[in-house]
């Protein structure tokens, strides 16, 4: 995430205002505004520059672009009317929730309409017997659990931004959180979606039953980053709030041993509710901020949560302590109260804002690696810090190998953003070389288009485009995101050749 990084918009397209045709863009804005003004109340359409500027980026502020217009519909009928009008006019359309995304997925198109679903903020129904919640896409993640709490239920996916991020954004990015190891990502907790196609027609995918007739198109929508459908309603799975939960916090004097501890827990057949890892730089940043009680002398700490009945938790906590001691833990603490459990987690949940206290800007990366490679990757990142002259704090969803390096930089210093970006790309390419992926839960957006060229072959990318074309033949929904063109990948390949050897050839391949 960047607070004040310089603009870095993707390549302009013919007909965009970015191509230097202000008169043409002004005329286009008037044409589109007239069409949408006939469909929406006056307070549902923004067109002045000062109104558009707050929508120019999401949480990845390094990539910015003002849209032609912003539409803020209140009803599903209004959403479909806007979509139909944009389809008829050939206008790109980018859906946006709370704007907390970290990959530029909600960055507007210069010649398009930004469709905000912020006003779709109602929880339509909670069924405690079926353990489901039917919500609009603008509902905040945490609000679902708050509404379900009187029934002893909650919504399991819990991104660090759950106080602000919306369910629609979670669906678009297939968000996870610290409890995704046991309870799964968004894709495992959504039963159905309702949404508007690029032609302005409503479709429903999935359902409350265990299986739905026909092809399983729901899974394609989840994590599709707004490229296929404008979601207007979501049916969520709720789970019972556990009787008891405790956190085991373990200190290690070496990051490699901490990584081996993670692998040992999984190998022992233990699936904690959450399994997180933070290196020394991350704990040093967080502890003064939240006073979580972290061991600042440790090279890395692990947080492993057990939940269930009192007997189940007692048995699993004992097993976790045994495995962690055998893996080389130098100190182990177990939360003794609910307040202490929440305090242990508060440090991990506040790692991002804590980084903001240390540096004017920070770049939050998102990649996934095999668990056994955690130590090797952390050591490689230490070498990259020296190479790029930038500090990096490391926090991990260690149980599933999802890493979030926080690269600290100052956008006001010449060249620092460029070094931070190169640092991040090198981490992602290392993830791929080790058998992992370029994203775990933040999505591709515009940020990871180049690393997509490394992750996927031309044939695979062509298959992605085919799916996109099946849902969106004119290519108007969030265009230019998530899937790189063949031309872009060819240029990126040439850049690789110019840069020379692949970095870190000494690291093992898994």
pLDDT tens digits for range 165-185 = 999 999 999 999 999 999 999
Q: How confident is the model at residue 336 (pLDDT cuts 50, 70, 90)?
A: very high
Q: What are the Cα distances from residue 215, in Å, to 174, 218, 327? A: 20, 9, 45
**Tally of residues, the chain:** 510
Q: How confident is the model at residue 501 (pLDDT cuts 50, 70, 90)?
A: very low
255/198: higher pLDDT: 198
Supply the pLDDT for residue 492.
87
Supply the pLDDT for residue 486.
84
221, 230 contact by CB (below 8 A): no
Q: How confident is the model at residue 11 (pLDDT cuts 50, 70, 90)?
A: very low
User: Is a pLDDT exceeding 50 seen at residue 504?
Assistant: no
Average pLDDT of the residues of the chain:
91
Supply the pLDDT for residue 376.
87
User: Is a pLDDT exceeding 90 seen at residue 3?
Assistant: no
C-alpha angle 163/274/442, rounded to 5°?
55
pLDDT tens digits for range 300-315 = 999 999 999 999 999 9
User: Is a pLDDT exceeding 80 seen at residue 12?
Assistant: no
User: Is a pLDDT exceeding 60 seen at residue 17?
Assistant: no
pLDDT tens digits for range 112-154 = 999 999 999 999 999 999 999 999 999 999 999 999 999 999 9
Provide the percentage of residues in the chain whose pLDDT is more than 90.
82
Question: Is residue 433 helix, strand or coil?
Answer: helix
Question: Is residue 150 helix, strand or coil?
Answer: helix
When pLDDT is averaged across residues 24-37 and rounded to a whole number, the result is 93
User: Is a pLDDT exceeding 50 seen at residue 42?
Assistant: yes
445, 481 contact by CB (below 8 A): yes
Question: Is residue 12 helix, strand or coil?
Answer: coil
Q: How confident is the model at residue 22 (pLDDT cuts 50, 70, 90)?
A: low
pLDDT tens digits for range 54-91 = 999 999 998 999 999 999 999 999 999 999 999 999 99
Tell me the whole-structure pTM to 2 decimals. Answer: 0.91
Checking DSSP bridges between strand 300-308 and strand 244-252, what pairing results, if any? antiparallel
User: Is a pLDDT exceeding 80 seen at residue 10?
Assistant: no
Question: DSSP of 369-387, one letter per residue?
Answer: --GGGHHHHHHHHHHHHHH
Q: What are the Cα distances from residue 103, in Å, to 62, 426, 448, 494? A: 10, 16, 7, 24
pLDDT tens digits for range 366-411 = 999 998 888 889 889 999 999 999 999 999 999 989 999 999 999 9
Supply the pLDDT for residue 408.
97
Domains observed in the chain: 17-116 (3.30.43.10), 123-240 (3.30.465.10), 244-353 (3.30.70.2190), 359-499 (3.30.70.2740)
Provide the percentage of residues in the chain whose pLDDT is more than 70.
92
When pLDDT is averaged across residues 286-303 and rounded to a whole number, the result is 94
Q: How confident is the model at residue 418 (pLDDT cuts 50, 70, 90)?
A: very high
Supply the pLDDT for residue 21.
53
When pLDDT is averaged across residues 275-291 and rounded to a whole number, the result is 94
Q: How confident is the model at residue 436 (pLDDT cuts 50, 70, 90)?
A: very high
b/e map of 216-228 (b: 16 or more CB within 10 Å)? ebbeebbbbbbbb
User: Is a pLDDT exceeding 80 seen at residue 478?
Assistant: yes
Query: What's the distance, Cα to Cα, between the start and end of the chain in Å?
Result: 30
User: Is a pLDDT exceeding 80 seen at residue 224?
Assistant: yes
Provide the CA 310 distance to its chain's centre, in angstroms: 33
Supply the pLDDT for residue 296.
96
Supply the pLDDT for residue 497.
57
Compute, in degrees rounded to 10, the torsion defined by CA atoms 47, 50, 53, 54. Answer: -100
Nearest to 454 by CA among 419, 430, 420, 487: 430
């Amino acid at each position: 995430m960047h607070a004040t990084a310089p603009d870095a918009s993707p390549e302009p397209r013919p007909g965009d205002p970015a191509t230097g045709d202000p008169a043409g863009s002004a005329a286009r804005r008037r044409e589109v505004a007239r069409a949408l003004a006939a469909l929406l109340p006056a307070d549902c359409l923004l067109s002045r520059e000062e109104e558009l500027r707050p929508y120019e980026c999401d949480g990845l502020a390094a990539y910015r672009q003002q849209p032609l217009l912003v539409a803020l519909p209140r009803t599903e009928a209004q959403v479909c009317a806007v979509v139909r009008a944009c389809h008829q006019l050939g206008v790109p359309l980018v859906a946006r929730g709370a704007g907390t995304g970290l990959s530029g997925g909600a960055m507007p198109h210069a010649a398009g309409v930004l469709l905000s679903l912020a006003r779709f903020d109602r929880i339509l129904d909670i069924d405690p017997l079926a353990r489901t919640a039917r919500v609009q896409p603008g509902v905040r993640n945490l609000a679902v659990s708050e509404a379900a709490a009187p029934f002893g239920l909650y919504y399991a996916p819990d991104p660090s931004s759950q106080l602000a991020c919306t369910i629609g954004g979670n669906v678009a990015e297939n968000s996870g959180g610290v409890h995704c190891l046991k309870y799964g990502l968004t894709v495992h907790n959504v039963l159905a979606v309702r949404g508007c196609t690029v032609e302005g027609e409503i479709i429903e995918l999935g359902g409350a039953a265990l299986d739905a007739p026909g092809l399983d198109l729901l899974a394609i929508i989840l994590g599709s980053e707004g490229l296929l459908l404008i979601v207007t309603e979501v049916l969520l799975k709720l789970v019972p709030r556990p009787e008891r939960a405790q956190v085991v916090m373990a200190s290690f004097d070496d990051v490699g041993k901490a990584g081996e501890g993670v692998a040992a827990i999984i190998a022992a057949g233990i699936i904690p509710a959450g399994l997180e890892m933070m290196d020394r730089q991350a704990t040093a940043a967080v502890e003064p901020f939240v006073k979580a009680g972290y061991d600042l002398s440790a090279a890395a700490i692990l947080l492993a949560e057990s939940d269930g009945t009192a007997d189940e938790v007692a048995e699993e906590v004992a097993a976790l302590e045994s495995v962690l001691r055998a893996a080389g833990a130098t100190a182990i603490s177990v939360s003794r109260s609910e307040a202490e459990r929440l305090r242990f987690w508060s440090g991990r949940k506040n790692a991002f804002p804590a980084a903001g206290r240390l540096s004017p800007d920070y770049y939050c990366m998102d990649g996934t690696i095999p668990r056994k490679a955690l130590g090797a990757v952390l050591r490689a990142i230490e070498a990259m810090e020296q190479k790029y002259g930038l500090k990096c704090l490391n926090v991990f969803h260690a149980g599933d190998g999802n890493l979030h390096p926080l690269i600290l930089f100052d956008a006001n210093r010449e060249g620092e953003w460029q070094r931070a970006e190169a640092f991040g790309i090198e981490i992602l390419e290392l993830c791929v070389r080790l058998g992992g992926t370029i994203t775990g839960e933040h999505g591709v957006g515009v940020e990871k288009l180049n690393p997509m060229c490394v992750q996927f072959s031309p044939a695979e990318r062509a298959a992605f485009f085919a799916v996109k074309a099946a849902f969106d033949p004119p290519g108007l929904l969030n265009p230019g995101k998530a899937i790189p063109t063949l031309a872009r990948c060819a240029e990126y390949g040439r850049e690789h050749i110019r840069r020379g050897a692949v970095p870190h050839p000494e690291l093992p391949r898994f």
